[in-house]
Structure 1
Amino acid sequence: MKRNVLITGTSTGVGFETALLFAENGYKVYATMRNLKKADAIKKKRDENNLDIEILELDVTKTDSIKTAVDTIIAKDGKIDVLVNNAGAGFAKTTEQATEAEIRWVTDVNYLGVVFCTRAVLPYMRKQKSGQVISLSSVGGLVGQPFNELYCAAKFAVEGYMESMATYVSDAFNIKFTIVEPGGIATEFMTSAVEKTSVAGEMATGEYLPIFEKYLAGNQKRANESQEQTYQTGLEVAQVVLGVAKNENPPVRIRTSQWAKDFCQFKTKADPDGTKSVNMVKSSFL
């Protein structure tokens, strides 16, 4: 029987490429997205290549939407083998400038969506005594960065959540947890983040303005001078995600490029894949 995979945020970018790549490699793919009006591109690829992809509505900020999608999959297949928590959104504003609604939104999309999607699939994975949860984080989940503190905080939370789950759920129920940590990605995610940064720029006045201008100039310089080294394609990241899904002993965390590895080196040098830390915790508490 085919392994099936539920992927969130598949209308564009990494999620789009991941859905196609998994289907091309023999998985039954449930490609989900918040807005089904954005499904045309993935439908076209599915139909052209006769891929086993079913498209479902799923908004990671709404628990009833998550439940409906999971219930649909269980009704059809009776199981969920892999969950890829991909949905997320970039955000760049200072804490002072961000509204309360924006702070809650960036946390909901990037962190709580991971928790609620994972919570929805866990009962079925426990019952079948197997499963895999792969969450897209970021180098920003390991290293805080200017004007990205709210985004980074949400990704730090994803890292802590996934790492904690790996300390006790994996051995007890044979459910694997992996955090995938890309650096820059040349997709609509990056475009969206830049647009939000531009909006923030309109508000970055007073004492923040010279820092913000320096930050924007640095971003532009990296984009112009080191595009190939810094930014990956969505497909390149998707290939790492697929490799994790195929790995019988997947790492707890993995960076997706040499640039990402270098950027996080001071946080990861002693334990690059996170297994030493998880094993230490297990031996200390369990």
Structure 2
Amino acid sequence: MKKNVLITGTSTGVGLETALVFAKQGYKVYATMRNLDKSNTLKQKIKEENLDIEILELDVTKQETISKTVEYIITKDKKIDILINNAGAGFAKTLEQASTEEIEWVNNVNYLGVVYATKAVLPYMRKQKAGRIITVSSVGGLIGQPFNELYCAAKFAVEGFIEALATYVGPSFNIKFSVVEPGGISTEFMKSAISNTAINGQFATGEYEPIFAKYLEGNQRRANEEAENTYQTPLEVATVIASIAENEHPPLRKRTSKWAEEFTKLKTALDPDGLKQIQQITKTFL
């Protein structure tokens, strides 16, 4: 029986490409998304290349859809080999200007969605004493950035969550945890990050406006002048995710580009893959 993989957020970008890469490598892929109306691109690829991909509805902000999907896969296959927590959304807005609803949404989609999906698969992976959980984080999970405090906070939370699980759940039950930390990606994700800066059609206002103008100018300059070095394609990131899944001794943390490595090196130089930290934590507490 072939290995299976459950992937969240596969309607576009990294999630879509990850589903395709895994299917081409011989996995049974359960590609999930919040809105099935956005599945046409993936459906076309499945048809053209005769890929073993099943599209399912799953909204990471709604626990009942996560549970329903996991139960469906277990009933059908009796196992889940790999979970890829990919669903997420960009958000760049000052804390003062973000509404309570937006703050809750950023955490729900970028952090709690990871928690709930991981919680749903763990009992089965623990029982089978095997499994991999690969979570798409960001360099924003290591480095706080202007106008991204809420997004970065959610990704920092993801990093701590996975690191903690890796210290005791991983070695005790043969479940391997990894976080993938891309830099810029040329996808709909980037467009959503910019669109989520708008407040009633306006960007940051008041005393923040000149700072925000510099922020946008810098983003635009990098997009125009340094795109080749800064921004990756979704396929490039998906290929890294697939390589981690095939690695017998996967890293806890993995940046996906030279730019991401350079950007985060002050925090990662002593322990690039995060495994020394895990060893130290385990030695201290267990």
Pairwise TM-score range, normalised by the shorter structure: over 0.9
Query: 1:107 — aligned with what?
Result: 107
- Code of the residue aligned with 1:27 in structure 2: it is Y
Query: Following superposition of structure 1 onto structure 2, how do residues 191-210 of structure 1 map, counting pairs within 5 Å?
Result: 191-199=191-199, 202-210=202-210
Query: 1:5 — aligned with what?
Result: 5
**Count of aligned residue pairs for this structure pair:** 286
Distance 2:77 2:200 in 1: 45
Give 4+ residue runs of structure 1 displaced > 6 Å after superposition.
Answer: none
Question: CA-to-partner distance for each residue in 1:6-38, whole Å, 9 max, x for gaps?
Answer: 000000000000000000000000000001111
TM-score normalised by length of structure 2: 0.99
Query: Following superposition of structure 1 onto structure 2, how do residues 160-179 of structure 1 map, counting pairs within 5 Å?
Result: 160-179=160-179
Query: 1:152 — aligned with what?
Result: 152
Query: 1:58 — aligned with what?
Result: 58
Query: 1:253 — aligned with what?
Result: 253
Question: Is the Cα contact below 8 Å between 2:197 and 2:203 reproduced in 1?
Answer: no
Query: 1:34 — aligned with what?
Result: 34
**Percent of paired sites with the same residue:** 67
- Code of the residue aligned with 1:215 in structure 2: it is Y
Question: CA-to-partner distance for each residue in 1:95-139, whole Å, 9 max, x for gaps?
Answer: 000000000000000000000000000000001000000000000
Question: CA-to-partner distance for each residue in 1:26-62, whole Å, 9 max, x for gaps?
Answer: 0000000001111111011011111000010000000
Show structure 2 runs of 5+ residues with no match: none
RMSD, matched Cα: 1.0
Question: Is the Cα contact below 8 Å between 2:252 and 2:273 reproduced in 1?
Answer: yes
Query: Following superposition of structure 1 onto structure 2, how do residues 1-286 of structure 1 map, counting pairs within 5 Å?
Result: 1-199=1-199, 202-286=202-286
Distance 1:73 1:187 in 2: 29
Question: Is the Cα contact below 8 Å between 1:16 and 1:42 reproduced in 2?
Answer: yes
Distance 1:283 1:200 in 2: 52
Show structure 1 runs of 5+ residues with no match: none
Distance 2:97 2:197 in 1: 12
Question: Is the Cα contact below 8 Å between 1:106 and 1:151 reproduced in 2?
Answer: yes
Distance 2:195 2:95 in 1: 18
Distance 2:199 2:190 in 1: 14
Distance 1:257 1:272 in 2: 13
Question: Is the Cα contact below 8 Å between 1:180 and 1:255 reproduced in 2?
Answer: yes
Larger deviation, residues 196-205 vs 13-22: 196-205
- Shift, 1:202, TM fit: 1.5
Distance 2:278 2:199 in 1: 40
- Code of the residue aligned with 1:257 in structure 2: it is S
